[in-house]
Structures are given as C-alpha cells and as structure tokens.
Structure 1
Amino acid sequence: MSESSGARRRRPFRRALVAALGTLGLVAAAAAAGAPSASASAPTPPSGWTQVFADDFNGAAGSGVDTADWRYDTGTSYPGGPANWGTGEVERMTSGSDNVALDGHGNLLITPRRNAGGAWTSGRIETNRTDFQPPSGGKLRVEARIQMPNVTGAAAKGYWPAFWMLGAPYRGDYRNWPSVGELDIMENVQGLNTVWATMHCGTSPGGPCNETSGIGNSTSCPGATCQAGFHTYAMEWDRSVSPEAIRFSVDGTVYHTVTANQVDATTWADATDHGFFVILNVAMGGGFPNAFGGGPDGGTEPGHPMVVDYVQVLSAGGGTTPPSGGRNAYSAIQAESYDSQSGVGTETTSDSGGGQNIGWIANGDWALYKGVDFGSTPARQFYGRVASGAASGVSGLVEVRLDSRGNAPVGSFAVGNTGGWQSWQTIPTNISEVTGTHDVYLTFTSGQPSDFVNVNWFDFGH
C-alpha cells in the first residue's frame, strides 16, 4: 500500500511473517532447567468462569511461539519508545530460538544468553490481543504457571524475569507510561525466593502511585522456592465489588490488593478503563536489580531460562455474554463486523491479531453495529483503533452516534496521518454517559473528499 497516496482506491496491505528457528539453544536451555515437567494443559476454569485466552505452549522442541497469539519484541526498545525498554536493562531482545522456544514438553523457555564479547540477549513476547479487562460488574483472572530461572546467589546477579500486563493505549504510543496502567503479576530479581506484585499508574516520578516504585508488595514462594519449582502466579481484577479491586496471588494465596479508593478517580480511570495485553520476558540488569546489588557482571551465569507451563485468561460475571445477536461494548468490536455500511471497504490488516480492517473511509461514510450492550454502569470513554496515511493537512472526525445517523454524536475524535495506512494507534475520547443496549453508528466527517482513516476495532470504557 502506498502510504503517501490520498486516492480513494488504495491497494490492500499484506505482510508476511518470517521466523528463523534453531534447536541448539533449546537443548542447552532444557538442560539448564533440569527438564522440569509441565501439566498437560491449563486447568479447567472454575464454575462461573469462561476461558477467553490460553496457551499451553505445546509444540515441537525448538519451535517458536504461535504468532497468531503472540508477538516478539526485539531490540532494545519499542519503535520510538524509551531506550533500554525504559528500565535501564542491558540485554538485546531477539526472536531466535536460543532466547525464545518451546521445549517439546509443553513448556516455553525464555533464556538469557551472553556472547563471547560479553553482550547479553534474551526474549520478550506479548499477546497480540490488547482487550483483556473485566466485563462491567464482572471479574478478570490472568494466571500463569512458571518456574523462575533456576539460579541463585552471585550467579543470578542481574536476572529479572517477569509476567505482567500493560494498558492497551501504550501500544503504538510508548510514551504514556505510567498513566495507562501496568499490572505486574510476577517479578523477581537476583534469584531471590521472592515474588513481587505491583500496580503502576499516575505520573512519574512520584505522583499518586509512588512512581517509579508503584503500589506493590512481595512474599516468598510457598513450598519449593520460586527457582526450584513451578508456582501459579495470578491477578484477579474484580469489578463486582466497591471499591473495585485488583488482587495478586501465588499458588492461590492473595498477598497484595490494590483498590480504586487508594488513588483519585481520574488516576484510576486512566489506568483501568481500557483493555490490557500480557507480557512474558527475562530482562538482564536495570533499575530493579540495581536496587538489590546490580548486575549482570562477570560472575553472572547465562543460560538459565524462565520456564512457562501455560498462560490463561478467564472472565466471569457482569456483561461477559451480551444479548443474543448483540455485542459487548467493553470488548473489542471488530470494525469489519458491521451490519451495514456506506462507502467503506475491508482489507487485510497488519495490526495485532491479524484479520481485517475497514478502509477507503472519507467524508460522509458510515458503518452500523447493531445491539451493543453497555450494561447499567455508564460508559464514558470510546476507544478507536485507527491508522492513516492521509496527505499532509488531510484529517477528519471519527464520530459515535446512537440508534440513528441523524442523532448528534455522543463523542468524537480527530485523526490525521499516523505514519501510514497500517500504522495503528488507539485513540481515546470522552463520550456522553451511555447505558442500555443501542445500535452504534461510526460516522466519518471531514472538510475534503480524500480518504483520511482506517479503523480496525473499537470499544468503550467506564
């Protein structure tokens, strides 16, 4: 696709994913891990819970993660984001099987390596999906069964494994932390028998969430140490209680809870009124290890993997199941799932999760989505996943109207060139309070005839 053309007929964009995988690093990593055993699959959800995402990491030894579910973060930063992933860590992340691979026994191995020149590499993956959040009045549970890198003492200096989540608005922006929210379900440093859980939010440094430390707590792993055995690390986000609560646990024991009344309403809303994506990584060095003696140094041993048996996401209660034929306002509504439209077309997207987006959108075009259930708690935010390769000076409005295209918009945002027709950004905007079930129209208005936006998905928040 031409990113500079403003013509009404653009060619669909397609991108091939290429992975180069090997097995030598995997064999060494499995040996270092002592070939830990994995459960056959993620456990069956308890009564009342629905599994909305899961990966058991079953596959051939040496193969990579499923790129339909996960994306590799590579290099030393997000594009245009803070250097060294914003933490001061020293490794370079890769997608190679030396650093990220399945072991053939139902485990994912993320393994730090050090080359002959002393440079470190490691692995970092995140879910393509960014829509993990509790339904209105319901709960979300995100859990993983993990063995931390099995290394302790001086040999563990600089190791920083983590299982965590970032707010969806971070993706594509990379400069809005910590206001968009971060939920650290499991962090560990220096091979200590300690698991930390933290919520990051507000402003940095300082602010209502005590950044850069965040609102956190820690505990020892029960039974076997964090390094010597598998433990289940979980976060349960509960919108069925007042104040709203986020609880962190290890092996079923809650050791840290953050509630909405611990910070001001705006800080909480900015950090939680949107979806999240999940991240697994092993960093080397950086701010957290520095607080406990630093590293890595010459005595640090490379090659000890974080071993992940499974990751799963569960949802319960609230508006988890929308009315028959309807849509949940608080889950991503794919733009190409319209019931009717005027002026738009569909094309293959390179955005997270693949699929299609709607494009060829200009002044006067619209798309209709019937039966969107907002529940009884008012929605006050609209989030649109958009991209634009419009020419300089070309922009327009993405508007939300309810039940009739003739009704006034309940909210809108302006969008111009984002860097290309597949350069995606999630743009939030305030809307008038909405409850109940409505037909939602996306309408598009500009003062000129050229295409000005693509839309991949949209949803709403409180």
Structure 2
Amino acid sequence: MLRSLIRPAMAGLLLAAASAHAQWQLVWSDEFNGSISPNWVFETGAGGWGNNELQYYRRENATIENNALVITAKREDFGGMAYTSARMKTQGLKTFKFGRIEARMKLPAFLGAWPAFWMLGANLPQVGWPASGEIDVMEHVNDEQKVYGTIHWQDNNGQYAQYGGNIATTVTDWHVYAVEWDANAIRWYVDGTKYHEANIANSVNGTDEFQKDFFLLLNFAVGGNWPGFNVNTAALPAKMYVDYVRVYAPAASGVSTVYQDCNYAGYAAALPEGSYTLAQLQARGVRDNDLSSLRVNAGYQVQFFDGDNFTGASVTRSGDTGCLVDQGFNDRATSVIVSKAAPAWSRQIEAEAFSAQAGVQTEACSEGGQNVGWIDTNDWMAYNSISFPTSGSYRVEYRVASAAGGTLSLDLNAGSIQLGQLGVPNTGGWQNWTTISHTVNINAGTYNVGVFAQQGSWNLNWIKLTKL
C-alpha cells in the first residue's frame, strides 16, 4: 500500500521454481462473526502516511454487516479532509512469518477507489519503510477489473525496489485473495489460481526483509498517488467487504490426525508426537471441546484429557476411531498427548516347556530345538503360572505340523475355563510347519494354560500369546 515511483522492479528478481501446493494448518483467523476481533487496532489520521490519500481514517467507518467486516468510504468533511474511511492492523498484537495468508473479499470499483489487504514488517518502527518490507496480498485501483500483488523492499544498495504482478478478475464479486510465503518464495493467488511469484531465496537482491515477522493491514483509501486525485463522488458511500481473514502455517507431518466431527469430517489437524495444551491446540486451529474422531499411525497412541495441562478424565486410543461417542469423549478434549504406544504384550511358550502332560513325547524339530509330537486324541499339555496383564482380547498362535489334520482346544486351570477350539490343517508332513491362530477373551490374572487334543495326529512347536 505504501507507494513510491522511484523505479520499477529489478530485472534480477525472477520467478522462483514452481512447487506443489502445500497442506496448511489454520493458526489464526478473524471470521467477523458479529464483531471485530480485539487483535486489530485502528489507525486514525489523514494523508495515508506518504500516499497523499484524500480521506481521513476513522474507527467509525468499520462495521459488521451480516457477519462480514465492512469498511465504508464516505463523502464527509472531517479533520480537514473531504472523505472518511478506515484502516486497521494487527501491529503489536499478531505477527506472522511464513504461511498462507488469505481473505475473502468483495471490492468497490469506481474512480478514486483504492482498497487493499497487505502486510508490513514488524520492525517498521525501528527501521522504517521500505527497509521493513511490504507484501501487498491484494490491491485494486479505480474501476479496473484487475487486482495486483506486489512486494516492496530495500535492496542491497539501500535503494527502494518493488516487484509485482496482476490478474484480471471481477472485483465486485466475492473472491479469495491469498499469498503463500516461505523462505524461498512468495506466491499470489486468486481463488486458488496462482498469477505471480517472487523469489526471495537466500535473500536474493536484498530481500532479507521477507525472512522476518510481518503484521496484517486492511484499508480502503480514497484517491492518492496511485489511483490519482479524481474521485467519482456519485459512487459514495462505497463499501469494501471482508468475509474473513485467515492465516495458515505449513502442516507438520503428524503421526495422528484429529477431526472436528465423527467419521473423519470437519476441520482436521495433524499432530506430531508431543504434548499439546489448549493454547497449543488452538494454535493449530483446534477449538476447545471440539474433537470427535481421529486417525493414528501404527505404533502410536493419543491420550485425550478433559482438562487443560493434561488434567481431569482421559481416554487413550491407539487406533483409528470414527467417533469418540462410544468412549464417552466426544467434544470433550481440552489437552492431548501423542506418544509412542507401549509395545503390545506378547509371550511365546515353547511347546516342550510344559509343566505337565499326558501321552505326548518330544523330538528334534526341523526349525531348531524340539517340538512336541506323537499327539493322540485326548492327550494334553499344561503350562503353569502364565500371567495375563490386562483383561481383553488375546491372539493365540500355534506353530503346527500334521500329515493328517486334527483339532486342538485351549483352556485355563485344568479345563475350568474353556477358550475355544481350532482345526489343525494337513500341512503335508510332520515337519512342514504352519501357524494357525484364533482370538480369545481372557480376564487379567495368572493361570495354568492347557492345550488339549480334541483330535490327534499333529505336532506343536510353540504357542504365542499377544494382547490385542
């Protein structure tokens, strides 16, 4: 928005290499739903700070209509000027470095109009302009059906420089105007279509200003150095509408993704391994008591707390969960811990390590060590003092071989608790091994585990128990 006619863009400022559209994480927004966020301050005064604008900026010219910000330019004598309007900024309250900065706006178009959505370096009070740098996300002048995106800075020689582009658009319709800004480039978009790009990699041509924090500005100027000093007063009062302003950061690759709604719907936030207080969740766009489903990478778990700073009731999930209603934790999360899941409890028992048996013998095993063989119908093996750490489902695997096929069953405490039976296939030989399994439910505790031959003619190498 600050303008100079000193010289055009430097020829050396070429387009940076194209890159894929990033995924973004909302970090701040003003939706203007009923009010203007306290993160804005209003600048008041005349002249436009070097632009020779014709209006006097007043707080009263910024209002809310139908959940949108409206800045109204008026033909009104005030403070020695013939027009009034408004200019607002986040300076001293919100600054940002890199990300996607966007606003959905509907603009006026008439002779003398100069609406803008732009950014200035947070060090402006210390270094002045243009050393602070300026990023114009969107500017429009007069009645053109066109918008502009520009950067301004102080080059390596201490001279003013600018580099801009433009695109034709119907400015009086709603559009999303955005920049995507990282350490290498700034890219300009209208409704997702890129129309301009500036290379700032390695502070080329003195662009180190754009490696620092910036604050946001919205204003609607009347006349000035760029649009000129003729104003179509018949078009006044005129309004600039802003549906929202949003700032996104690049989404970190997460090991879990949490969702606003059940069935992985609504907004989403990727969470790397770590602990997230309410403030840290909000910085990632997650609202308090607003999570309903999640996805979790294998080997990780997510613990939700209903109090801030990891206090209060909690629930832990180590797998994808389509709706937290079943866990009684829908819309309850205030803080979250994402961590590596404890390895699943597992224990392998060698078949020949029985505590007692009936009718079986051991023999050399082709897979090493020994196996139990000569198992006939009604033979059995017992393995005493096997502790199961928690109640729930366990997968039980058996390494078996058979030349005829048979059936085994599993029980606890000499058959007082029956856990089910499983067919043993014909593997084609007494030393041709395969693994069979079933899932059983066992209450936490210590038991004597029994394997019983409902139908014999099979060998057993080992048994493996895994908590699911």
* Alignment TM-score, normalising by the size of structure 1: 0.47
Higher RCO (CA < 8 A, seq sep 6+) = 1
TM-score (norm 2): 0.47
